[in-house]
Structure 1
């Protein structure tokens, strides 16, 4: 049978209210009493009824997370970060897959699961500001990504222009002079536009041409899209000495094509990606990549939802998460086992 607060109270020789205060981490419980009750909790294997705790507050204990593409390693890692952050607050996460389709993003944003969730974290791709103007649902919503909306919702993102510039700056500092960009998008895509902008600004600042002939436009951002983009550049008779990819899957796909064409990474072509996903760290050539702080993004998203639920943040906030460039073999080369120098 399930162990109850009453059982713990009897075992510890205290009142049910005292056990409840310990379980709910009330500050006025003395350390000695907290230790006494905790020993009984551990001995009996008591587990708090989180559902009942949330229901007493008029909540469900569930946050929805809606992402465009679970097959993309970045979104899978981001989902894990949100789930971990939510668990620290005794919340569980309900996952929704929008496919980056506007109609599905509208459906999710209008809280069609309103009776199930306390709040929504949404990473939109095609959603427009007018789609949110008439949102009647009271459940708080937090937005992720680079789509700009002049609306009263918290928005968490990294500085994509600065992040892209850091990757291009790194390759230019290594002596690369003809840097391609793969992953510009047909139609509107603010993340892609911002990363192209960073690519262009950094090359211009370095006194190098930002050659539009080395910008590959794609329909998607997967491994195959990167391979196709790289193939298109090479078949056009261009051979850049560096490539900055919109994301890591595209960079990995592009590196495969370079290998098939007999070009070495990084000796002939340096490669940098974006998102620092696990797959990029375990290839034959490890991938240099811009690494957004996914843990911080997940934590900030959950905390923003909970702050809205409690009414602590009446004004909308635009929150910048940090990023860094992780330099690996695809730009630096390998270290030899004998002397530690780059091969």
Structure 2
């Protein structure tokens, strides 16, 4: 009805790409995002809020794919454009700040992430009110940052607040509720509160499978976390098949060269190490270090962790009879 060159066509391309991205179908999403961005720039000009939205969505896709250097450039462009067009006090600015902080978090740049997360949270509360899904997302993200830094006492009340808010605003059956359940379970597991963690992990996994389907990166994350819980409890026979399922799913959905694949390899290697299966663990650690070096850089906390794990294994092998 409108022809190929119309802003609504660009919007439809963008929305279809959002759907594919939400399903973990990243290869299908990217060309649509790029087409929507190019069309929006041509029809509306480079200085338009819709261009900022397209840039933000493309950057998020790059983040999901572990393409952090590309994501940062696009996020910064989107933030600058949003501030210039809409002013400092706008919900879209808060979203851009939140997304940029998320990128810093994934890169292990925690000191840079925290003030940006706090700024986004304060802005959202002021503009949207305390009872809004975006406020819940900001609370969840800030809690995740604190968790990654081992600041568990600060993380827990934020995770609980985010979960309660999401259930109230979005209902019990929503992917964001599953995310909150998973994150709270991860916190409890790290504190050794395994009895509290397990039912939350299982609930999050079941919810994700039902809402997102069996073939989704978030399902793989839930499987990985559940296996990690079993491993921490010494339930190795239960952990191994779940780790293997998570690894296979991540490789299929995200490709061989993704930070989440490195995490799965490291975790499976850790399981083998705990069982004394050192010869099986070593190549997995090596692969995890190589992927993390390429995608995250040698100074990322995860890269350092995997490298340390490999060294511990090699020390054990050297001193084994």
Q: Using structure 1 for the length normalisation, give the TM-score.
A: 0.26
Q: Using structure 2 for the length normalisation, give the TM-score.
A: 0.27
- Looking at both structures, which has the greater relative contact order when contacts are Cα pairs under 8 Å and sequence separation is at least 6? 1
**Richer in strand (by share):** 1
